[in-house]
């Protein structure tokens, strides 16, 4: 008899994929590791083509510097959907367009057009008859949202279109910004004595890990604006394994603990203290490490040399399926990674 708990439907762990890696290698890696959900930082056409027929669910990204143009022009939105979604769907299973990244907090001057941008993209999907399979949303940081009026309009949009609230929930940042308030174990999902658990002053729910507290904070802030029933999708979460001298907690050991514990926690499907029935999908940031990056790195897989050979780091990522043979990156030379930005 199998006593292992089945993951709750709707609970999954996916990965963020940045640029600079061979599309064929990326898709082989997804297959070998059994990864069924990815979020692309952009709408890389080689990757979107390579993902055709794999069934992998894909979030495509509108870059922050495209948001203004799309928000100002329905025609630009229609063109974006045609080039980056309609060309590839349904063979490539695109399920979301993520509009920008943390637009309200990182490029506040685009806040005025953010709602128009999501609406223009949604209308373009309706016109292309793709709105049932592809939803539109925009990822938020944990920072206090500076413009509640924009958030209300966004939530109305999400509710009306059956979309999700996208949240970048990074306990690493919460732990660092807390400056000692939070124990490291709380950020890493390590068991805490009941007396050490963090009690939310608003709800008196007690939290054994910061990830759940961040998701509930998103639910509470939506509730404060009178929205309930909009699900949360965690578009970024992870832990850097390298961060330089000023980041002593960015270690391989902590990255392994965080990502492994996150994986178990999400797939157990226990919901959060405030929403025990919520299913959570979470995208780990990120699948590939930039080989050239000297400073902070969050990526789980490297490639070294001409083949996509795993580093010792990759072999230690125990929560993923172990691989038997490592696929060649591609027959042709892979392009050099872009300079770290
Ligand atoms: C695409 O993803 C959706 C959502 O999970 C799923 O229902 C559907 O079966 C997938 N399509 C293909 C072709 O795999
Ligand atoms: C939420 O709804 C309540 C009851 O209808 C109302 O009193 C309150 O002003 C609303 N709050 C917001 C932020 O709209
Ligand atoms: C959770 O789901 C169960 C079973 O469907 C239901 O009885 C319960 O009321 C739900 N709880 C909440 C807080 O929604």
Residues 134-151 pLDDT 10s: 999 999 998 876 678 899
What pTM does this model have? Answer: 0.88
225 lines ligand 2 (CB under 6 A): yes
How far is ligand 3, taken at its centre, from the CA of residue 9, in Å? Answer: 15
Catalytic pick among 57, 66, 119, 236: 236
Atom 1 (ligand 2) nearest CA:
226
How far is ligand 1, taken at its centre, from the CA of residue 122, in Å? Answer: 19
CA atoms within 13 A on the CB side of 209: 21
Q: Is the peptide bond before 286 cis (omega within 30 degrees of 0)?
A: yes
Provide the β-strand partners of residue 109.
none
Q: How many residues does the chain have?
A: 341
Which pLDDT does position 295 carry in this prediction? Answer: 76
What residues flank ligand 3, with Cβ below 6 Å?
Answer: 276-277
CATH 3.30.1310.10: does it fit domain 12-315? Answer: no
Question: Tens-of-pLDDT digits for all 341 residues of the chain?
Answer: 333 444 456 899 999 998 667 788 788 888 877 889 999 999 999 999 999 999 999 999 999 999 999 999 999 999 999 999 999 999 999 999 999 999 998 888 888 999 999 999 999 999 999 999 999 999 999 887 667 889 999 999 999 999 999 999 999 999 999 998 899 999 999 988 888 888 887 777 889 999 999 999 999 999 999 999 899 999 999 999 888 888 999 988 898 889 989 988 998 888 999 999 999 999 999 988 765 556 788 887 765 544 444 444 444 444 444 443 444 444 333 333 333 33
Q: Is 177 a catalytic residue?
A: no
CA 137, CA 121: separation in Å to the nearest integer?
10
- 90 CA: nearest ligand 1 atom: 13
- What residues have CB less than 8 Å from 117, skipping those under 6 apart? 62, 67, 70, 71, 77, 99, 100
End-to-end Cα, the chain, rounded Å: 51
- 148 CA: nearest ligand 2 atom: 13
> Ligand 3 pocket check: which of 219, 270, 271, 277 to mutate, most ligand atoms within 8 Å of Cβ?
277
Which pLDDT does position 322 carry in this prediction? Answer: 41
Provide the β-strand partners of residue 14.
283
Provide the β-strand partners of residue 206.
199
Which value, to the nearest 10 degrees, does the dihedral of the CA atoms of residues 249, 250, 254, 255 take? 160
Burial 12-47 (b: 16+ CB within 10 A, else e): bbbbbbbebbbbbbbbbbbebbebebbbbbbbbeeb
CA atoms within 13 A on the CB side of 124: 24
Closest ligand (CA of 89): 1
| Strand pairing class (139-140; 165-168) | parallel
The count of other CB atoms within 10 Å of the CB of residue 191 is 9
Evaluate whether 117 touches 107 at the Cβ level (below 8 Å): no
Residue showing tokens 């309200």: 104
Q: Is residue 155 left, alpha or beta, with left meaning phi > 0 and alpha meaning psi from -120 to 50? A: alpha
CA 88, CA 241: separation in Å to the nearest integer?
34
Which pLDDT does position 244 carry in this prediction? Answer: 80
CA atoms within 13 A on the CB side of 121: 33
With 0-12 CB in 10 A as exposed, 13-18 as middle and 19+ as buried, what is 232? buried
Which pLDDT does position 3 carry in this prediction? Answer: 36
CA 222, CA 148: separation in Å to the nearest integer?
10
CA 211, CA 187: separation in Å to the nearest integer?
7
Evaluate whether 171 touches 211 at the Cβ level (below 8 Å): yes
Atom 4 (ligand 3) nearest CA:
277
Q: Is 290 a catalytic residue?
A: no
């Amino acid at each position: 008899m199998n006593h292992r708990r089945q993951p709750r439907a709707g609970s999954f762990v996916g990965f963020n994929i940045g640029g600079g890696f061979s599309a064929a290698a990326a898709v082989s890696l997804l297959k070998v590791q059994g990864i069924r959900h990815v979020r692309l930082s952009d709408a890389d056409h080689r990757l979107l083509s390579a993902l055709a027929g794999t069934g992998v669910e894909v979030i495509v990204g509108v870059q922050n510097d495209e948001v203004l143009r799309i928000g100002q022009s329905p025609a630009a939105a229609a063109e974006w959907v045609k080039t980056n979604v309609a060309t590839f769907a349904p063979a490539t299973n695109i399920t979301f367009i993520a509009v920008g990244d943390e637009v309200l907090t990182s490029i506040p001057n685009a806040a005025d057009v953010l709602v128009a941008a999501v609406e223009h993209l949604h209308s373009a999907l309706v016109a292309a008859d793709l709105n049932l399979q592809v939803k539109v949303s925009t990822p938020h940081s944990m920072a206090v949202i500076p413009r509640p009026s924009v958030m209300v309009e966004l939530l109305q949009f999400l509710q009306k279109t059956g979309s999700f609230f996208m949240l970048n929930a990074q306990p690493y940042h919460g732990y660092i910004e807390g400056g000692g308030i939070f124990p490291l174990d709380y950020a890493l999902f390590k068991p805490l004595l009941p007396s050490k658990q963090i009690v939310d002053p608003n709800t008196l729910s007690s939290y054994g890990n910061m990830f759940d507290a961040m998701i509930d904070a998103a639910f509470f802030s939506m509730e404060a604006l009178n929205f309930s029933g909009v699900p949360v999708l965690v578009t970024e979460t992870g832990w850097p394994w390298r961060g330089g001298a000023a980041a002593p907690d960015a270690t391989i050991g902590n990255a392994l603990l965080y990502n492994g514990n996150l994986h178990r926690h999400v797939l157990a499907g226990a919901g959060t203290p405030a929403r025990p029935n919520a299913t959570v999908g979470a995208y780990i940031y990120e699948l590939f490490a930039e080989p050239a990056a000297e400073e902070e790195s969050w990526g789980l897989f490297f490639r070294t040399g001409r083949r996509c050979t795993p580093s010792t780091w990759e072999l230690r990522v125990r929560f993923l399926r172990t691989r038997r043979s490592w696929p060649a990156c591609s027959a042709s030379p892979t392009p050099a990674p872009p300079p770290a930005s």
